[in-house]
Structure 1
C-alpha cells in the first residue's frame, strides 16, 4: 500500500469521525519518517498515545515455544539417533 492510499484511508476515517487504532514498535521519530509527515500530522490531530512497557512480544513467546520444541527429544528415536 502506498503512502497516498494510506493517507486516503486515514483522511477518510478522520473526516467521518471514525477512530483508528494503530500499533507500532517504532518510536515517534521513526514512525514519523516511516509514514511521512502528511500522515503523521493527520494522525497527530486526534491521537492518544499509549506506551506499553514490560509487555512481552508475541514473537518472543512464539520463539521460546519453538526453541523449547526443537530441544525435545523425538520419542521414536533411540539414544544413538539423538
Structure 2
C-alpha cells in the first residue's frame, strides 16, 4: 500500500514540472510563477531534503533531462 512520507514546500509558487534523477538521488522542481528551479536530495528512506540554492529561470515550465542537459549543480 502507498502512503504519504512527508510534505515538503516546493520553494516557489506554482510547482509545474519535476524530474527525478535516481542515479544522482536528486529531484529537480520547476516553480513556474516563482520563475525558479529548486533542488531536493532524495534520501534512502524516500524522503526529500531541500538543497541550498535556487536557480532563477524566467519562463521555465519544464525540466530538460538526459545527456544533453547539463546539471546546474555540477562543479
Normalized against structure 2, the TM-score is what? 0.23
Please say which structure displays the higher CA radius of gyration.
Answer: 1
Is the helix fraction higher in 1 or 2? 1
Normalized against structure 1, the TM-score is what? 0.22
Is the strand fraction higher in 1 or 2? 2
